[in-house]
Amino acid sequence: MRSLGDMASRSELADLVRPTPELLERLWNGKRVLHRRHASLPLPDKVRLVMELQRMVLPLIARQRALRSWERPWEIEP
């Protein structure tokens, strides 16, 4: 296999990083299953999931800029 520096064109590089149709199909199917599973959850579990996601992303945002007042998480447990 040639190194990236030896590639003859940008299209060859794009072909290396383009996902296969089979991979895309598996990803879309997995996403569909996950959405159905989340939609069937009771409301307290949905709230818990949203709060978990907020706890993961807010530190990343806070590293880039100050959190706005509505972005600060409440100290509650569902």
CB 67 within 8 A of CB 45: no
pTM of the entire predicted model: 0.57
Cα(first)–Cα(last) distance of the chain, in Å? Answer: 52
pLDDT at 2 over 80: no
Coil vs helix vs strand at 18? coil
With tokens 């100290």, the residue in question is: 75
Per-residue model confidence as pLDDT tens digits over 47-66: 899 888 888 998 999 999 99
Chain length of the chain:
78
